[in-house]
Amino acid sequence: MSKIIYYESIPRELERLQITQKEAAKMLGLSLSGFTSRIASNKPITHWMIYGLANYLEPTKPRKRIKKYAKET
């Protein structure tokens, strides 16, 4: 099975995103104690929540445009 989530630690991922656990809990609609409890349980759903939060907070990368070559006349 390939690994979809490429980080090892939720607190380190939050640090990389430059947000606190309290801010992350608020964005996810959880209490701080509930969020820290979920982190401690280390269940896959918690990692998916952080993965989604990271994708939401990170700026989107511009897509490369494919140049269409004009027909030579």
- Say what the pLDDT of residue 59 is: 74
Q: Is this prediction's pTM over 0.85?
A: no
Q: What is the DSSP letter of 55?
A: H
* pLDDT, tens digit, 9 for 90 and up, residues 24-60: 999 999 999 999 999 988 888 998 999 899 989 887 6
pLDDT recorded at residue 21: 94
Q: Which two tokens stand for residue 1?
A: 């099975």
pLDDT at position 43 is: 87
pLDDT score recorded for residue 61: 63
Q: Which residues contact 47 (CB under 8 A, 6 or more apart)?
A: 5, 10
